């Protein structure tokens, strides 16, 4: 899509997120991709509308995936995968891929989102939620876990029972490797280009460029999520200030020591007043 848009003289913006699990917590890797319905004209610096045809994108996606798999036999070792035990050499692998290439590949095209916030919510929904929410857990007997899911094929809700080991195993199989990027940006949203092109995009769309938001600190996060001000003293209500750091001591011991210090200070003030 990016290459085709550039052939039309347009630089689009794309972000895509990798989603690895299906509704049964099984391995179901797929990509959620969002692309702008237009882009920056590379020569004239104006915004040009652009549309992608579903059938053409399906053919491009099928060709790209098959081409990648054709050169990855040793890396994938398909004979060790479920349902592919009959593939014993690269020749059989190529024959299998050729058969898959002849099948219909479906790419789901969603409707155009209205506004940037909807796109952010869409992306966040697939990145930050767990593989199965607590609301879908039906029963836990100490040895088995029952959860319900929606089956797209039958269009009905079904229940699945897993042992503790199976549930934990499926959960951890979806934890990405350290430093692995679950979200990628391309076009004028890429890290290399957005500093230069995003201001031009805003100018072409007659939008006011937004300043980069400040990174929230520890206190801001505590206030936002726990409704607690970590810099407010739980004893007197005054603003806390850093005095010293102590390691290896329990919080109750430190609080008791602070209470004793406050009582002593009050006694001294009372004696001075007398």
Judge contact between 179 and 10, C-beta under 8 A: no
Tell me the C-alpha distance between 217 and 219, whole Å: 6
Tell me the C-alpha distance between 48 and 14, whole Å: 15
Assessment of whether the complete model's pTM goes beyond 0.85: no
In this structure, is the dihedral angle defined by the CA atoms of residues 227, 231, 235 and 237, taken in order, positive or negative? negative
List the chain residues with pLDDT less than 70: 126-129, 133-135, 274
Q: What pLDDT is attached to residue 174?
A: 86
Q: What pLDDT is attached to residue 236?
A: 81
Residue range 95-134, pLDDT digits in tens: 999 999 999 888 888 888 777 777 777 777 766 667 776 6
Tell me the C-alpha distance between 4 and 16, whole Å: 17
Tell me the C-alpha distance between 23 and 71, whole Å: 30
Residue with tokens 């007398």: 274
What residue spans of 111-157 are helical by DSSP H? 116-127
Q: What pLDDT is attached to residue 108?
A: 87
Residue 232 DSSP symbol: B
Q: What pLDDT is attached to residue 128?
A: 66
**3 state DSSP class of 77:** coil
Beta strands in 36-121 (DSSP E): 38-41, 47-49
Q: What are the residue boundaries of the structural domains of the chain, listed by start? A: 2-129+179-213, 132-173, 219-273
Q: What pLDDT is attached to residue 145?
A: 84
Token pair in block for residue 126: 């697939």
Q: What pLDDT is attached to residue 92?
A: 95
For residue 3, give the nearest of 35, 45, 46 by alpha carbon.
35
Q: How far is CA 148 from the centre of its chain?
A: 23
Q: What pLDDT is attached to residue 127?
A: 67
């Amino acid at each position: 899509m990016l290459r085709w848009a550039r052939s039309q003289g347009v630089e689009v913006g794309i972000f895509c997120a990798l989603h690895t699990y299906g509704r049964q917590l099984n391995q179901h890797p797929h990509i959620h991709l969002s692309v702008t319905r237009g882009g920056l004209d590379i020569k004239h610096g104006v915004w040009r509308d652009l549309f992608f045809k579903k059938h053409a994108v399906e053919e491009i996606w099928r060709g790209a995936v098959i081409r990648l798999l054709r050169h990855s036999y040793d890396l994938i070792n398909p004979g060790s995968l479920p349902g592919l035990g009959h593939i014993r050499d690269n020749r059989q692998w190529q024959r299998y891929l050729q058969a898959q290439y002849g099948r219909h590949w479906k790419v789901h095209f969603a409707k155009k989102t209205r506004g940037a916030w909807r796109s952010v919510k869409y992306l966040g929904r697939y990145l930050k939620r767990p593989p199965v929410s607590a609301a879908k857990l039906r029963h836990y007997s100490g040895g088995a876990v029952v959860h319900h899911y929606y089956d797209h094929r039958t269009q009905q809700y079904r229940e699945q029972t897993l042992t503790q080991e199976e549930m934990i195993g499926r959960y951890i199989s979806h934890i990405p490797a350290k430093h692995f990027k679950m979200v990628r940006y391309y076009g004028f949203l890429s890290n290399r280009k957005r500093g230069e092109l995003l201001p031009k995009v805003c100018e072409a769309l007659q939008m006011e460029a937004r300043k980069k938001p400040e990174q929230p600190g520890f206190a801001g996060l505590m206030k936002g999520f726990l409704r607690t001000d970590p810099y407010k003293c739980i004893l007197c209500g005054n603003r806390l200030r850093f005095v010293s750091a102590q390691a290896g001591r329990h919080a109750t011991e430190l609080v008791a020591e602070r209470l004793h210090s406050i009582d002593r200070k009050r006694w001294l003030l009372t004696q001075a007043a007398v």
